[in-house]
């Protein structure tokens, strides 16, 4: 009976470790994809702003909106990373300064 309980406890511990590793992978992949997406969006938007400045200079200010939105989406990805990382350790206290 004791051997059965110890093997069940070992299985629970190993599944918990696998779950924690999975959450770490989710956090790190979110960070990587957030950075790549933000860089791609800002690059494409910057090219658009530069070409708009050459073709129609009066519309340059309006074409800056996609650059700002790409930056906002980058911060949104950062918020998602914080949410995913706090799911790993619900009992830990995290101080967020607003």
pLDDT recorded at residue 54: 92
pLDDT recorded at residue 81: 80
How far, in Å, are 81, 86, 88 from residue 67 at the CA level? 22, 30, 33
pLDDT recorded at residue 11: 60
pLDDT per residue, tens digit, the chain (98 aa), is: 555 555 666 666 666 666 666 667 777 888 888 888 888 988 998 899 999 899 998 988 888 888 888 888 888 888 888 887 776 565 555 555 54
CA dihedral 80, 83, 87, 93 (to 10 degrees): 150
pLDDT recorded at residue 51: 92
Is the separation of the CB atoms in 38 and 73 below 8 Å? Answer: yes
Is the separation of the CB atoms in 37 and 77 below 8 Å? Answer: yes
* DSSP code, position 20: H
């Amino acid at each position: 009976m004791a051997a059965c309980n110890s093997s069940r406890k070992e299985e629970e511990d190993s599944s918990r470790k696998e779950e924690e590793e999975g959450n770490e992978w989710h956090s790190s992949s979110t960070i990587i994809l957030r950075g790549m997406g933000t860089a791609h969006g800002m690059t494409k938007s910057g090219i658009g702003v530069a070409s708009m400045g050459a073709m129609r200079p009066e519309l340059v200010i309006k074409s800056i909106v996609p650059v700002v939105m790409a930056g906002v989406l980058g911060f949104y990805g950062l918020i998602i990373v914080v949410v995913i990382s706090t799911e790993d350790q619900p009992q830990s206290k995290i101080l967020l300064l607003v």
